[in-house]
Chain A
Amino acid sequence: GQSLEQPSEVTAVEGAIVQINCTYQTSGFYGLSWYQQHDGGAPTFLSYNGLDGLEETGRFSSFLSRSDSYGYLLLQELQMKDSASYFCAVLNQAGTALIFGKGTTLSVSS
């Protein structure tokens, strides 16, 4: 089956850089996605890596190494509004819906 591991909590200060790691075990692999969820809000899509390497979108970047079954989300120039939960996700075995990790709660302080 599919399973994902990510740290439960990360803390950082404004302006800092933080990396949230995700390791996965899958039967078949279709890429790694990242979603952000603010407390009480709906998850929103951040990024997707289908191939090895780094994808950059503004202050956020995501990296994938398929040989290591590992990826990370890099958040730069942290702002208070980045305080949220971040989930990595892979497709299920049927290739239909996403299997999410348990999420990493990021707390940004001033």
Chain B
Amino acid sequence: GAGVSQSPSNKVTEKGKDVELRCDPISGHTALYWYRQRLGQGLEFLIYFQGNSAPDKSGLPSDRFSAERTGESVSTLTIQRTQQEDSAVYLCASSLAGGGAGNEQFFGPGTRLTVL
């Protein structure tokens, strides 16, 4: 079956523009996560969706970042008024159930965002 897909794979934008990143999780996975990975760094948690529960937004770095998820399907991460510091790879992951470190997370290939 298909894995987690993300689009676009690469996005180059100018400082101050808004960008929207898309994630299609594995079908049937109720939990969805967004992470950010700066060059040579670890993964930084951004936001978590679990079914119809309120999302955990505790990792969002500023109010310029927001995300939505429609039911248990597609999610979009929006970054408004992009800054050069937002340049990173944005990774989406999904898992069968939320919580529990033992719940394997399946990652998409990421979107490489470059803010000029």
Are the CB atoms of A102 and B99 closer together than 8 Å? Answer: no
Contacts of A48 in B (CB 8 A): 101-102, 104
Contacts of A41 in B (CB 8 A): 109
For window 63-116 of chain B, which residues contact chain A by CB distance below 8 Å? 91, 93, 98-102, 104-110
Contacts of B101 in A (CB 8 A): 30-33, 48, 50, 89-91, 98
Q: How many residues of B contact A (CB 8 A)?
A: 27
Contact with B along A68-110 (1 / 0, CB 8 A): 0000000000000000000101111011111111110000000
Smallest Cβ distance from A44 to chain B, in angstroms? 7
Smallest Cβ distance from B54 to chain A, in angstroms? 11
What residues make up the interface of A, taking CB atoms closer than 8 Å to B?
30-33, 41-45, 48, 50, 87, 89-92, 94-103
Contacts of A99 in B (CB 8 A): 45
Q: Does B58 contact A (CB under 8 A)?
A: yes
Are the CB atoms of A92 and B58 closer together than 8 Å? Answer: yes
Are the CB atoms of B105 and A45 closer together than 8 Å? Answer: yes
A97 is contacted by which of B4, B48, B102 (Cβ under 8 Å)? B48
Most buried by B among A90, A96, A101: A96
B100 is contacted by which of A30, A32, A92, A103 (Cβ under 8 Å)? A30
Known: A42-B108, A44-B107, A94-B56. A100 touches B98 (CB 8 A): no
Known: A30-B101, A97-B33, A98-B101. A87 touches B42 (CB 8 A): yes
Give the nearest-CB partner of A90 in chain B. B101
Query: Given the complex of chains A and B, what is the CA–CA distance between A90 and B100 in angstroms?
Result: 9
Known: A96-B48, A96-B56. A91 touches B107 (CB 8 A): no
Smallest Cβ distance from A60 to chain B, in angstroms? 14
Query: Given the complex of chains A and B, what is the CA–CA distance between A41 and B56 in angstroms?
Result: 26
Known: A94-B58, A95-B99, A100-B42. A42 touches B109 (CB 8 A): yes
Give the nearest-CB partner of B100 in chain A. A30
Are the CB atoms of B41 and A102 closer together than 8 Å? Answer: yes
Smallest Cβ distance from A35 to chain B, in angstroms? 8
Known: A42-B110, A45-B105, A50-B102. A98 touches B45 (CB 8 A): yes
